[in-house]
Amino acid sequence: MAKPELIQAFNDQIREELNSSYVYLALSADLDGQNLTGAAAWFRKQAEEERGHAMRLYTFVNDIGGQVVLQALPQPASGVKTLKEAFTKALAHEKHVTASIHKLVKLSRQLDDIAAESFLKWFVDEQVEEEKNAAEILAKIEMTGASSGSQYMLDRDLGKKAGASAS
């Protein structure tokens, strides 16, 4: 049976992942409001993925006999108007989540919980991927500039990536 301190930390991480979902859904809503519908679809898909991350943790806590306790989420910020603002926020947010996952791995090690550490490997790898994706999109935005033409092209590409029609 995992230690209560670890169960608490996993519950905190469930909140982080649900909060990520909420943050991305708010970005999606902002971008829809700017008619950047491709990027909005990309963030909506991201929001769904984050909920999936929360559910992975939820299932693990159940599997090890812990009690899942859901926590309150803060109201996400809104008012983003450009792709650059949205992806700058997304990259900073992913870095924050990476730090919290690494903290959880270190706690598992400290408590000598090999099962928890093994389970978290997927999240460590996922964070590398998510930071890379956000950083690459942000680099593209910086490369192509802030004109409405380049925003349009990038928005269309993001829509395609999300598997949505951005036209």
Residues that bind ligand FEO (CB under 6 A): 17, 20, 50, 53, 94, 97, 130
The residue (of 97 and 116) whose beta carbon lies closer to ligand FEO is 97
Q: What span, in angstroms and rounded, lies between the C-alpha atoms of 27 and 42? A: 10
CB of 156 to ligand FEO, least distance (A): 24
Residues 6+ apart with CB under 8 A from 152: none
CB of 94 to ligand FEO, least distance (A): 5
Write out the two tokens for 61.
Answer: 């806590």
Helices (H), the chain: 4-33, 37-63, 83-110, 114-144, 148-161
The residue (of 60 and 151) whose beta carbon lies closer to ligand FEO is 60
CB of 50 to ligand FEO, least distance (A): 5
The residue (of 99 and 146) whose beta carbon lies closer to ligand FEO is 99
Helix (H, G, I), strand (E, B) or coil at 131: helix
The residue (of 20 and 37) whose beta carbon lies closer to ligand FEO is 20
C-alpha angle 55-56-61 in degrees, rounded to nearest 5 = 90
The residue (of 4 and 96) whose beta carbon lies closer to ligand FEO is 96
Write out the two tokens for 102.
Answer: 């690494």
CB 137 within 8 Å of CB 87: yes
CB of 146 to ligand FEO, least distance (A): 25
CA separation (Å) from 6 to 26, 96, 107, 122?
A: 30, 19, 7, 18
CB of 41 to ligand FEO, least distance (A): 17
Q: What span, in angstroms and rounded, lies between the C-alpha atoms of 129 and 30? A: 24
**Residue closest to ligand FEO (Cβ):** 53
